[in-house]
Chains A and B, each alone.
Chain A
């Protein structure tokens, strides 16, 4: 299996522009999570899906952030309009419902810089 695949790996954009981050989870996994990582705040959960349905979006910082999962193999995280404080590494992770350990499998992340 190729693991969790994220794109783009790096994105540099200007304040006010729309940013779309993409994720392909591991095939067969039931849960998909979006995290944001910064030096100041560490790894923060933004939103997670179970079987393509958003379950908890309480970590989404503002209405500028939105996430969708139109099918089991694809999810997007959109920021519109972007601001410099959104600069961070965004990780997508997936896992199986029937996992003894509850292990999360992370992608390599999308590094976002908003100028």
Chain B
């Protein structure tokens, strides 16, 4: 079993829809949780960062972490065609290296 599981999709939604992306993990030492966005033929870029449990909102994006269930989510409100990308969850434990473990990524297409 992988340390981080993520549904690869693909996921296709109409413009304006609410999108929910999720990851589960097995390592209880994970404290730092991130979502990276990767456009086609580009490198991943950090989209959202959360430390420990709770919610974080940034514009149309909300990240949620439930450590008791080992489950994290990313919500996208009023989705736009420009949101079409692969979304990767990533997480790490404490320590100076804070080595990230990535999910396999969910490919999202927002149709105009």
Within 8 A of B (CB), among A45-94: 45, 48, 50, 55-56, 91, 93
Q: Pick 18 A–B contacts, CB within 8 A, sort by A.
A: A41-B104, A42-B103, A43-B88, A43-B102, A43-B105, A45-B99, A48-B97, A93-B43, A101-B46, A102-B98, A103-B34, A106-B43, A106-B44, A107-B43, A108-B41, A108-B42, A109-B41, A109-B42
List the A side residues contacting B97 at CB < 8 Å: 31, 48, 50, 55-56
List the A side residues contacting B66 at CB < 8 Å: none
In addition to A43-B102, A102-B100, A108-B43, 13 A-B residue pairs with Cβ atoms within 8 Å of each other are A4-B43, A43-B88, A43-B104, A50-B97, A55-B97, A56-B99, A97-B96, A101-B32, A101-B46, A103-B34, A103-B46, A103-B49, A104-B100
The 0/1 profile, CB within 8 Å of B marked 1, for residues 99-115 of chain A is: 00111101111010000
Complex Cα–Cα for A85 and B97 (A): 29
Within 8 A of A (CB), among B1-28: none
List the A side residues contacting B44 at CB < 8 Å: 43, 91, 104, 106
Complex Cα–Cα for A111 and B43 (A): 11
> How close is A42's CB to chain B, nearest CB, in angstroms?
4
Q: B45 at the A/B interface (Cβ < 8 Å)?
A: yes
Size band of the interface chain B makes with A: 20 to 34
Complex Cα–Cα for A62 and B37 (A): 30
Please tell me if the beta carbons of B104 and A42 are within 8 angstroms of each other in the complex. Answer: yes
Interface of B is mostly: loop
Which A residues are closer than 8 A to B by beta carbons? 4, 31, 41-43, 45, 48, 50, 55-56, 91, 93, 97, 101-104, 106-109, 111
List the B side residues contacting A102 at CB < 8 Å: 32, 34, 92, 98, 100
**In this complex, which of B45, B49, B92, B98 has the most chain A Cβ atoms within 10 angstroms of its Cβ?**
B98
List the B side residues contacting A106 at CB < 8 Å: 43-45
List the B side residues contacting A107 at CB < 8 Å: 43
